[in-house]
Structure 1
Amino acid sequence: MGSSVETLEFQAETRQLLRLVIHSIYSNKDIFLRELISNASDALDRLRLESLTDSSLAGTGTTDPHIALEADKDARTLTVRDNGIGMTRDDLVELIGTIAKSGTAGLLEKIRDSKDAAGAESLIGQFGVGFYSAFMVADKVTLCTRRAGTDSGTRWESDGEGTYDLQAVDGLPVGTSVTLHLKPADGEDGLADYLSESKIRQIVKRYSDFIRWPIRMAAEHTGAEGGTAGDVDTLNSMKALWARPRTEVTEDEYNEFYRQISHDWPAPAGTIHMRAEGTFEYEALLFIPAQAPFDLFSRESRRGVQLYVKRVFIMDDCEALMPNYLRFVKGVVDAHDLSLNVSREILQHDRQIRGVRRRLVKKVLGAIKDMQSKDAERYAKVWAQFGRALKEGLVEDTDNTEALLELVSAASTHDPEKTTTLREYVERMKDGQDAVYYLTGESRAMVENSPHMEAFAAKGYEVLILTDPVDEVWVDRVPAFDGHRLQSIAKGRIDLDASAGDDQESGAEKARREEDFAALLTWLGTTLSEQVREVRLSSRLTTSAACVVGDAHDVTPTLEKMYRAMGQQLPTVKRILEINPAHPLVTALRTAHDANADDPALAEIAELVYGSALLAEGGDLPDPARFTRLLTDRLTRAL
């Protein structure tokens, strides 16, 4: 007996997504069947996995795990049925009625702005909502499901227009069936093809041949007497692609397998197919995606590769096999010598698994390095998508620091149109230059316009422009590259004349200049003692009056902002004010100070010089209102 029908509304973002899908976001409608079969396969995997740890589920629908396809030409329906884990009523509301993932609004905006159908369907794929593709071909979808371990099931039905119906139903088998009521034929839609045995076989062979569970369908074969006999055929080969020799696998097969396990539409940027023999045997098939998933930097993002033991699926997202900074890598690892009931906790402490992880990491980094040397354009695209994540490895993975540094690509002052590797930077270094110079900041424009850049630009020194938040962290963890220290041009003392080879200022000239400005430096240090710990002459400024710098190990302003945004307060660290002795404002201030050091207006000018230096580097003023008032008063007097 069924209960009363409950009608609920889709979440607002879900309604928008449904409208986009229904109006042919996908250029290839065939993939609706791939998505539904993939969901069914996932359900079978989850039931088999949960039954290993929950004895009450043993034998529940698992005596013959499979996926069944049923086409009814008279009723114009196509059903995808599985005897997997099933869903509860609440599961249906959460998984289908609501897109319970961060980044929904951003995804929808990208889909709407996509210039072509292929781009839109790739975005749909990375979001993982392939179930909605059913509404491309159906004007109504009926889903009946019962969760393993429960007594009653649920019927879900919708026309995709904004609401869906839920009804408790008794007597349902464990698993899920999705019935698509195909849209009415208009003579040109071709939807009737999806009820054709040959069409269904073609789609399954192309997209789902590697599904490890049998995909079955009743087929009609002509008998000897001219009649027909109904048989049940298995449509997929179920062959483990990773177990086949690489020479026997085509690129199309790799691409389709990648799409099956990742739900991502574009072909992967790189494929790694390997087999390890010896004391611990395993096979691995890994993929480097062409585009980053929308949740790459979300705390809730899934990471890790699929783990199999002797072709038996054990777990999705096996974090023990792949470090966090390679969370974008997709694929399968099939180990021969693990127990079928191995747990995540055991894997994390298993010496052999740690050995597998080390080898997989080296293979992935090696594949990206190989891409860098052989296909610069493809490497540039991969770095643009995943470079920020890879740089996290410079903080997390000290064993592979050198390999990761070889991959680092960054903007620099050498070419505004291209990024550069550290290796290319070192090859261009000036004679006598012993450091790789860099500057971090919130944006390229802010870094390029920083006063710290002036002397480097004037003397032709290349500076790396680092604007990713992780850059603030890894540059402090990595002391050098290829024997050359990494030097922030906003920290410590910088004396480019010492390595320029020409146009050097004599020691006597420097000493005389220091003597000329000694009184002003002392006075500024006293006047600004609450803000800075030292005032000194600068060798890094050519056009600006002043800049603020830190000692070699001081936290940068950008990193300080990041910590504050995370709710962490750092102890206040006073920095150093450097003034440009050649700037007219500084020379005028020295003259005025020498004439009348007690003039109160000079202290206000000192505050303005310091505040301007803070603003120029993107820092925060301690008292913006006071700075504005002082500046306004000074401008008024000037007029």
Structure 2
Amino acid sequence: MAEQHTENHKFNAHTEQLLHLMIHSLYSNKEIFLRELVSNAADAADKLRFKALENNALYEDDANLRVRISFDKDAHTITIDDNGIGMTREEVIDNLGTIARSGTKEFFGNLTGDQAADSQLIGQFGVGFYSSFIVSDKVTVETRAAGSDKSQGVRWVSEGKGEFEVTDIEKADRGTRIKLHLRDEEQEFLNDWKLRSLVTKYSDHISIPVEMYKEGEPEKEGDDGEKIPATEGEWEAINRAQALWTRSKSEVTDDEYKEFYKHISHDFADPLIWSHNKVEGKQQYTSLLYIPSKAPWDMWNRDHQHGLKLYVQRVFIMDDAEQFMPNYLRFVKGVLDSNDLPLNVSREILQDTKITANLRQACTKRALSMLEKLAKREGDEYQKFYKEFGNVLKEGPAEDFANRERIAKLLRFASTHSDSSEPTASLDDYVSRMKEEQDKIYYITADSYEAAAHSPHLEIFRKKGIEVLLMHERIDEWLMNHLTEFDGKEFVSVTKGDLDLGKLEDDEELKKRKEQDESEYASFIDHVKEILGDKVKDVRLTYRLTDTPSCIVVGENDMSTQMIKLMQAAGQSVPEQKYIFELNPDHSLVKQLADEQDEQQFAEWTQLLLQQAELAEKGSLENPADFVQRVNRLLGSTSVA
């Protein structure tokens, strides 16, 4: 049948940019092109197996799935041929002509120009096919979707320079054939031993045969003079063709585990840790779970796909089966192979089955055990993990009540115990350093580490040597609404109005001071209330400050400043929050203000102290110009110095 309906298309800008990056940034790791293409071929076979469960005709009388690799030295080509699911014309244009993922702008925004870092981003982006252009100056793809007529084949051709050509062809067999036209400097790959060694290195775990052609032997004469007949050449499997997770742990090397991770995740970096378990009993299943070393670039995208690859009795069922891993562990990669689920299981069925709930619970515990093991290792591996995934893990206490204490032990925070913004303090560390009579865990939330570390609310704690956790991530305020205690000790925000240091305070001495000050400053406090009116909820003296004249705090049942910001950032309307204005009776400014006789000066300084407190607590003012003008006016005044 004659070729027909040829169209020329342009790559979109993001794809063109990615191709350029592929060719230039990954050149030092160019052999991975074969791993990526073989992995894609294996995925195509898995998808055909799954669809054939409902429509056996898709096999087209050939159920022996395989991948074949061949090369032609004269033509300078390598061909990867599979008999998997194949693609339609529309799928070819969608999958090969553009990056079929959302968030491409954010992806390219993460590129740094550093080749090692950018190559990891590319791997996380999952664009294995484009690695063809690392070694090729031209790529030809011929494909036909399983179950379609042989006249519905499609040829895709591109030199990776901004355009591609799509042509209708006749293709007798289903599946996809990719021909790489190698650059002159890449002739090392036109070698039987080289290709076989790469398959053994990267794709030995692929569960379908990866075949290469073995030439036959010519007729020859044996040692005894008898003729040995010639043998015909044949395709032979060069990988084990056995699903890695079905093998005994003692048979699998660390390198094989790492390569399998890269196969299922399309990541370029090694995982931090993994766990391979076979369970027999009421339920029979095998799980192989991995903790990555780098977060995917789109971790926070709403449409970020996560979950495990699900197999039932070694038959692939679905990618990204999120039902088996809670959302706060969405970074965990791996495979789950169940003997108890039906082969025709769907996402809808998974939602309601008791088997799914049990498997989810088991996988969650296994993942948490891996993290606990990682946290106990010497070195900085856990800190590397926490830098990448710590904020995701903080979603756990709200989502998984049953494992809240285990998750809490895995969290890390900055604290006043050190001068570093790095989150290195665990809650166990904090409890071990608590003062003998301390029965609460104190913390502060703020917009940044600097804002938290220099907050006036910490002054009394520094004076008494009490450690405070410094929380400066946006999610921290939300976390602390669900993590109310640890090891039987209550969490207390140092910004709450009714701060109680319990036995850490000399109650009798403080009581006497308060009585004396309340009597001495009663009229002063009333005067401040009169000046501020409904700008504040209340005015009172405070003993939490040592170096600062004033601060604002929220009531015990009021919404915190950080929670207000969090809700506003989410587009939610928040009722107006009025703060309690606290004044430090030991500070010279407050003492002098209490003696101020000029009504106008009294009002100006009162407003200034409130605005200073608001700025320290909220990081901004509703009317900064008014604050600046007030400061300028008072700079020329000597009434209160």
2:354 to 348, 351, 354: 351
Structure 1 counterpart of 2:205, which letter? F
Closer, same or farther in 2 for the Cα pair 1:61/1:204, shift >3 Å? farther
Work out the CA distance in 2 between the residues paired with 1:475 and 1:605: 36
The aligned residue for residue 300 of structure 1 is: 303
The aligned residue for residue 73 of structure 2 is: 73
The aligned residue for residue 513 of structure 2 is: 509
Would the aligned equivalents of 2:144 and 2:171 in 1 still touch at CA under 8 Å? no
Secondary structure of 1:578's aligned partner: strand
2:570 to 561, 566, 569: 566
Secondary structure of 1:384's aligned partner: helix
2:473 to 445, 468, 472: 468
Q: Cα deviation per residue 1:545-604 (whole Å; 9 max; x = unaligned)? A: 221111234322222222112211122232211111222222222212xx35xx244334
Deviates more, 1:437-446 or 1:216-225: 216-225
Closer, same or farther in 2 for the Cα pair 1:395/1:81, shift >3 Å? same
Work out the CA distance in 2 between the residues paired with 1:607 and 1:89: 71
Work out the CA distance in 2 between the residues paired with 1:126 and 1:529: 56
Closer, same or farther in 2 for the Cα pair 1:172/1:548, shift >3 Å? farther
Closer, same or farther in 2 for the Cα pair 1:620/1:153, shift >3 Å? farther
Deviates more, 1:527-536 or 1:438-447: 527-536
Deviates more, 1:226-235 or 1:381-390: 226-235
1:557 to 539, 553, 561: 561
Closer, same or farther in 2 for the Cα pair 1:80/1:544, shift >3 Å? same
Work out the CA distance in 2 between the residues paired with 1:460 and 1:539: 16
Query: What's the CA shift for 1:399?
Result: 0.5
1:20-419 equivalences in 2 (<5 Å): 20-53=21-54, 55=55, 58-60=58-60, 63-102=63-102, 104-105=104-105, 107-108=107-108, 110-114=110-114, 117-148=115-146, 152-171=152-171, 173-184=173-184, 189=185, 191-225=186-220, 229-417=232-420, 419=424
Identity of matched residues, % = 42
Closer, same or farther in 2 for the Cα pair 1:635/1:175, shift >3 Å? farther
- Runs of 4+ in structure 1 over 6 Å off: 501-504
Closer, same or farther in 2 for the Cα pair 1:324/1:135, shift >3 Å? same
Q: Cα deviation per residue 1:502-534 (whole Å; 9 max; x = unaligned)? A: 798442222111222222323333433433211
Work out the CA distance in 1 between the residues paired with 2:43 and 2:538: 63
Work out the CA distance in 2 between the residues paired with 1:522 and 1:3: 90
Query: What's the CA shift for 1:387?
Result: 1.3
Closer, same or farther in 2 for the Cα pair 1:500/1:24, shift >3 Å? closer
Structure 2 counterpart of 1:213, which letter? I
Query: What's the CA shift for 1:450?
Result: 1.4
Query: What's the CA shift for 1:16?
Result: 2.4
1:458 to 456, 459, 463: 463
CA-atom RMSD, angstroms? 2.5
The aligned residue for residue 491 of structure 2 is: 486
Secondary structure of 2:281's aligned partner: coil
Q: Cα deviation per residue 1:167-217 (whole Å; 9 max; x = unaligned)? A: 333446432221100112xxxx3x223222222111111111111222222
Would the aligned equivalents of 1:67 and 1:81 in 2 still touch at CA under 8 Å? yes
The aligned residue for residue 451 of structure 2 is: 446
Work out the CA distance in 2 between the residues paired with 1:376 and 1:402: 24
The aligned residue for residue 432 of structure 1 is: 437
Query: What's the CA shift for 1:156?
Result: 1.9
Query: What's the CA shift for 1:61?
Result: 7.8
Deviates more, 1:321-330 or 1:452-461: 452-461
Closer, same or farther in 2 for the Cα pair 1:103/1:587, shift >3 Å? farther
Structure 2 counterpart of 1:603, which letter? A
Would the aligned equivalents of 1:36 and 1:80 in 2 still touch at CA under 8 Å? yes
Q: TM-score, normalised by structure 2?
A: 0.92
Closer, same or farther in 2 for the Cα pair 1:559/1:87, shift >3 Å? farther
Would the aligned equivalents of 2:340 and 2:355 in 1 still touch at CA under 8 Å? no
Work out the CA distance in 1 between the residues paired with 2:100 and 2:569: 25
Closer, same or farther in 2 for the Cα pair 1:490/1:501, shift >3 Å? closer
Structure 1 counterpart of 2:488, which letter? G
Structure 2 counterpart of 1:358, which letter? Q
Work out the CA distance in 2 between the residues paired with 1:609 and 1:340: 70
Q: TM-score, normalised by structure 1?
A: 0.92
Work out the CA distance in 2 between the residues paired with 1:455 and 1:306: 53
Q: Cα deviation per residue 1:405-426 (whole Å; 9 max; x = unaligned)? A: 1111111111134511000101
Secondary structure of 1:315's aligned partner: strand
Closer, same or farther in 2 for the Cα pair 1:508/1:135, shift >3 Å? same
Work out the CA distance in 2 between the residues paired with 1:68 and 1:589: 87
Closer, same or farther in 2 for the Cα pair 1:99/1:524, shift >3 Å? farther
Would the aligned equivalents of 1:246 and 1:273 in 2 still touch at CA under 8 Å? yes
Secondary structure of 1:229's aligned partner: coil
Closer, same or farther in 2 for the Cα pair 1:604/1:219, shift >3 Å? same
Structure 2 counterpart of 1:174, which letter? R
Work out the CA distance in 2 between the residues paired with 1:386 and 1:264: 16
Structure 1 counterpart of 2:355, which letter? Q
Work out the CA distance in 1 between the residues paired with 2:98 and 2:633: 57
The aligned residue for residue 528 of structure 2 is: 524
Secondary structure of 1:27's aligned partner: helix
Work out the CA distance in 1 between the residues paired with 2:196 and 2:300: 39
Deviates more, 1:286-295 or 1:162-171: 162-171
1:545 to 544, 549, 564: 549
Query: What's the CA shift for 1:396?
Result: 0.4
State the number of aligned residues. Answer: 626
Secondary structure of 1:222's aligned partner: coil
Closer, same or farther in 2 for the Cα pair 1:204/1:543, shift >3 Å? same
The aligned residue for residue 9 of structure 2 is: 8
Residue segments in structure 1 that go unaligned for 5+ positions in a row: none
The answer to whether the aligner puts 1:624 opposite 2:629 as a matched pair is no
Deviates more, 1:191-200 or 1:169-178: 169-178
Q: Cα deviation per residue 1:103-151 (whole Å; 9 max; x = unaligned)? A: 545544654432xx54443222112122222112111111223334655
Work out the CA distance in 2 between the residues paired with 1:503 and 1:573: 31
Secondary structure of 2:232's aligned partner: strand
Would the aligned equivalents of 2:48 and 2:58 in 1 still touch at CA under 8 Å? no
